[in-house]
Structure 1
Amino acid sequence: IELRLEKMGSREMYLAVLDGERSPDLMSPASSLQVSLLQDLSTQRFGQPLVNQFDEEQCQSVVESPIVIVAWEERANALWGTDPGADLWDALFEALTNPEGWAAYGRPEWGFVKFSHTDPLRSNSGFQTLVLMTYNYHGKMAGLTSEDILADEAFQQWLIAFEGSITEFGDSTGTYMEEIIAFGPSLHDMVAVYEATAIEQAENARGRYGNLVVYYPPATHVSDHPFCILDADWVTPEQAQAARLFMDMMLSPEAQELALLSYGFRPVDPTIDVSQPGSPLVRYQENGFRLTIPPEVETPSGSVLQTLLDFWSRNIAR
């Protein structure tokens, strides 16, 4: 088969398909959040979806990487001890909105607590972080609704205060990871990134500004890197068949093991042992990486996700 690849950001990708600027046979955003959005938005616009995230013949995840919080160990220990557990988001909110900053934790010389995540309107990791924060506030693992966002004034005030403590929302997850290593806690005390991004930079972080460690939120949402064949009139049966062959190759044991050992992604193939020799999840366990991940929240419907993005855009974006 012949492949013609184009690199695009996840949000840029689904909007380009929705607006008719691109007509791909196969698309692969960073997570199912974008597929959910495209499915609902295309149904609203065209009367039928351009993609079906629930049809395994059309849409399959190929690798996974959960959201983690990367932090300088000394700062994290001062904030929540060795493990924040279920209180991670609450502890972070209290620290970020405390006008005393690190002085409230006995370290006034550190200034204000500095947490960052990317812009959810431009970057998938920031979008996932926003979803996790919203679920956590409402004490839910599934069933997030637009009413949870629009009809709960206390939640709105909480989110605006939380996000108001962040000085800048970047565009790139990789850039944030590079910055925390290059500039240390002078720029970021902790950042929300993909687990695979943290693994990619784990060696570079050694011996910089103390130990860099990862913490897993009490519930997570994974970047599941779905490969989805478009249900559109421009996709011929032959092109759909070729796309399935490519998906099969990405799901082969050889490709799945390569994704783990060379790039730090978790395989979706359950027969691939993430604790095998050479696994970065084992190699960097002392930095907090885990073989198993926390329970996953449900991916909300596209309409709920759009409501959350709209609220963020109207009240927080800058």
Structure 2
Amino acid sequence: MATRPPRQTSSTSISTARSRARRGGALALLTALALTGCSFADDGGGDFGDGDFVDDGCTSVVVATSSEKVNMLDELADAFKESPEHDALDECATVRPINVSSGDATRFLTSGEDWPDEDTRRWPVMWSPASTVWTDRVAAAASASLVGEPESFTHTPVVFGVPETMAKALGYPGTDIGITDFEALCQDPDGWASVGKPIWGSFKISKTNPNTSTTGLSAILMQSYEASGKQADLTAADVAASAEFSRVFEECVIHYGDTTGKVLNTLYDETQNGAGGSGYVSAVALEETSLLNYNQGNPDSHTVQPGETLTPPKEKLVAVYPSGGSMWSDNPITVLGADWVTGVQAEAGAAFAAFLQTDAAQQILPEYGFRPLDASVPLGDLFTAEYGVDPAGPAVTLPKPAVDVVSAAIDQWTQIRKPSSVLEVIDISGSMDEEIGDGRSKLDGAIEGAQSTLGHFRSSDEVGVWAFTTGVSSAAGENIVVLRDVSPLASDREAVDSSLDDLRFADREGTPLYDAIAAAYDEMTARAEPGRINAIVVLSDGQDTDSTMSLDSLIARIGSTSGEGGEDSPVRIFPIAYGEGADTSALQRIAEATGGQWFDASDAAKIDLVFASVINNF
């Protein structure tokens, strides 16, 4: 059997370490880009180097899969090499999982264009999104032949992860808890005080963006089921009738994450540092498998190395299986009917899909926190109350609605999602003139990335744009240029585009990063309102060189309201570390001080994708 070099992967449970140790293998965990699940970047894995695709003499079968399954499929790929299904092939086959978010893959496949990766070796032969909701959308929007015949091989329910202490305040585990209970806490101005816990402040929910995330999509469908009182046969009319219920529910959202891993990382860090996490979020919509990883001390579901020690959180999350029912991520796999898939690859892919249905494959799934389709396969030690789950849950399974219903739910969310007030603050110091390898300068990439985000915002959302360097001034202060005051975007998209283009001709000198962030924070806290996502997006490509304020002073200033309970109108900061020279440590501290998230754009050429990932939060 041909030997593969180590694979860079992203998502797993603690069992990875045990599995890798048994096989005597070791994986190289490399620094990752924090994007929204493209094949060349992800939320916990990263670029796959050329070495991973070295010709080993076998047919290469690339599987584009949602991030939480990459590592599991890697082990299944190894087991496939030893299976009768592989032996029956005329030539050997090597299955290579890569991470592509379900929503992104859907968009790529329905575009009618080639797969957006310059290296054709990484073009997928197979696709395994988290749910057949996505394969149905491609079949409807493009063609059924493109997605072949998807077949589920494992599943995991969508639950709400709640810190155990908070769950007990709601009656867990003896009391059924439903989405209606969460909605009531959202609607009640007393928040947690309504159940006798005033120190916890308002009830806060974290959800992912349904345009790119299966969990986010399942959550909005579960809301419509709950509002309609149905447990089957959801219609587009039901979705329309649930608009007000869902709008209230959305008011509790802290921000729309591009991945649950980033939210769980922030919660874990706050918990370990003694804050308990209650001031950050009260409930997280996530898949059961992600909750299992979190409770083992792997909040971002990274690849656990042999010998690596994980530290469980001080406060575990428990799975609330909503009393009205849960959607399941049914995790299909299919051979794509794309032009680039050869007959030999299709045959090998079909053999791998058949292997995944076998007992040998199904036995591997629980080690990674996934439930086998075969109910006779033991779930093992992970699926216990010790790790926050109930192997008997959920009591009610909500069926996948028809494609038109799913589309209606996504369209409705676009209109009722929590409104945003966002100030983009862009570094225009001298180093932004550096080339990024694709014919653009760093500044070109930043401008185009910022411009590409404008279509995401509704006309009622507030958007402002500042730039900072030394030697300039404006009404906002020294070293700041105001391109657009924070105000409703309305019909100003073209004007904002033009203002961003003007940055190409601006003077570019020093980097007063901390002073600029402090000024932006003062501006946004003065105008922040409850019921909005109040946020600052900061892009910087270097170290602070010219501020009058120190980093510690800035952290003390912006972190003063992030304690337990927090404020009703928090302002969160989302920094982008742009290029290899960016001060990632400082930017990460700034994000954590406000309950925001930082994004790694060390590969500056992919700044457009990073901006898209950031904007998914709003």
* TM-score category of the 2 structures, normalised to the smaller one: 0.7 to 0.9
Q: 1:95 to 1:20 in 2, by over 3 A?
A: same
Q: Does 1:141 align with 2:236?
A: no
For residues 191-206 of structure 1, the aligned pairs below 5 Å read: 191-204=284-297
| Among 160, 170, 173, the residue aligned to 1:82 | 173
- Deviation per residue, 1:43-76 (Å, 9 max, x gap): 5xxxx55336xxxxx2211211111111112212
Identity among equivalent pairs (%):
26
| Among 254, 257, 267, the residue aligned to 1:167 | 254
For residues 97-116 of structure 1, the aligned pairs below 5 Å read: 97-116=187-206
Between Structure 1 and Structure 2, the one with more helix by share is 1
Contact 2:295-2:312 within 8 A present in 1 as well: no
Aligned to 2:584: none
Q: 1:235 to 1:170 in 2, by over 3 A?
A: same
- Deviation per residue, 1:236-259 (Å, 9 max, x gap): 543322111111233332332222
Q: Does 1:119 align with 2:209?
A: yes
Q: 1:167 to 1:259 in 2, by over 3 A?
A: same
Q: Which runs of 5+ in 2 are unaligned?
A: 1-58, 64-97, 116-122, 271-276, 300-310, 419-617
Contact 1:79-1:95 within 8 A present in 2 as well: no
Aligned to 2:608: none
Q: 1:280 to 1:93 in 2, by over 3 A?
A: same
Letter of the 1:170 counterpart: G
Letter of the 2:317 counterpart: L
Aligned to 2:133: 33
Structure number with greater CO (CA < 8 Å, separation at least 6) is: 1
- Deviation per residue, 1:127-146 (Å, 9 max, x gap): 11111111121122222221
Contact 1:256-1:269 within 8 A present in 2 as well: yes
Q: Does 1:14 align with 2:106?
A: yes
Q: Distance in 2 between matches of 1:165 and 1:212?
A: 19
Q: Secondary structure at the match of 2:158?
A: strand
Contact 1:40-1:301 within 8 A present in 2 as well: no
Structure 1 residue 266, shift from structure 2 partner: 0.5
Aligned to 2:317: 212
Structure 1 residue 79, shift from structure 2 partner: 2.7
Structure 1 residue 164, shift from structure 2 partner: 1.7
Structure 1 residue 294, shift from structure 2 partner: 2.6
For residues 52-71 of structure 1, the aligned pairs below 5 Å read: 58-71=149-162
Structure 1 residue 232, shift from structure 2 partner: 4.9
Q: Distance in 1 between matches of 2:291 and 2:186?
A: 23
Equivalenced residue count is 300
Letter of the 2:126 counterpart: L
- Deviation per residue, 1:62-96 (Å, 9 max, x gap): 211111111112212223443442x5111111111
User: What TM-score, normalized to structure 1?
Assistant: 0.85
- Deviation per residue, 1:218-244 (Å, 9 max, x gap): 311111110022345554543322111
Q: Does 1:253 align with 2:346?
A: no
Q: Secondary structure at the match of 2:194?
A: helix
Q: 1:13 to 1:286 in 2, by over 3 A?
A: closer
Structure 1 residue 260, shift from structure 2 partner: 0.7
Aligned to 1:55: none
The structure with the largest alpha-carbon Rg is 2
Letter of the 2:159 counterpart: V
Aligned to 1:315: 416
Contact 2:112-2:142 within 8 A present in 1 as well: no
- Deviation per residue, 1:107-166 (Å, 9 max, x gap): 21111111211111221111111111111211222222212223x2xx211111110221
Letter of the 1:244 counterpart: A
Q: Which range moved further: 18-27 or 127-136?
A: 18-27
| Among 262, 266, 291, the residue aligned to 1:179 | 266
Q: Distance in 2 between matches of 1:217 and 1:49?
A: 36
Structure 1 residue 290, shift from structure 2 partner: 1.9
Q: Secondary structure at the match of 1:133?
A: helix
Q: Distance in 1 between matches of 2:179 and 2:362?
A: 32
Letter of the 2:197 counterpart: R
User: What TM-score, normalized to structure 2?
Assistant: 0.46
Letter of the 2:295 counterpart: A
Q: Distance in 2 between matches of 1:240 and 1:296?
A: 33
| Among 403, 411, 414, the residue aligned to 1:302 | 403
Q: Distance in 2 between matches of 1:175 and 1:286?
A: 20
Q: Secondary structure at the match of 2:210?
A: coil
Q: Distance in 2 between matches of 1:209 and 1:286?
A: 12
Q: Secondary structure at the match of 2:377?
A: coil
Q: Does 1:279 align with 2:369?
A: no
